[in-house]
Structure 1
Amino acid sequence: MSEESRKNMSREERLAAKLRENLRRRKTQARAQAGGETGESRDNGLSKPDAQS
């Protein structure tokens, strides 16, 4: 957005635009996370202890 258009926007419009930006970003992150979750990556990054005694 240009600075001039920001000045002309009401508070509600600015908030709505920020919410839309945030939603797009979160959807992109969720898609990337879901696409990267296969097999071993589903263990939430927790390593299993070795069974060595």
Structure 2
Amino acid sequence: MTSPSSKNPNSEQSSREKRRSEQLRANLARRKHQTRSRRSGEADERDEGITAAEKLPSDTASSES
């Protein structure tokens, strides 16, 4: 018959839904924190995201001409 180690499709689906709901809650918490920090004027403390572009010495030399 079936071995006890085989997964039930329903339990696999429920675990997938559980992971998805946890990820959605974490995303919502990040967005709320970001909104609060923007309202209070604090800097956004994310590790990921777009970093500010830095000017290279070659950029200033070409713009002076």
- Bigger radius of gyration, 1 or 2? 2
Any unmatched runs of 5+ in structure 1?
1-6, 41-53
Query: Root-mean-square deviation (CA), in Å?
Result: 1.7
Q: Percent identity?
A: 0
Could you tell me the TM-score, scaled by structure 2's length? Answer: 0.47
Runs of 4+ in 1 over 6 A off after TM superposition: none
Could you tell me the TM-score, scaled by structure 1's length? Answer: 0.57
* Relative contact order, higher structure (CA 8 A, sep 6+): 1
From the two aligned structures, give the one with the greater helix fraction. Answer: 1
For the residues of structure 2 that align with 1:14 and 1:25, how far apart are their CA atoms?
17
Residues paired across the two proteins, number: 34
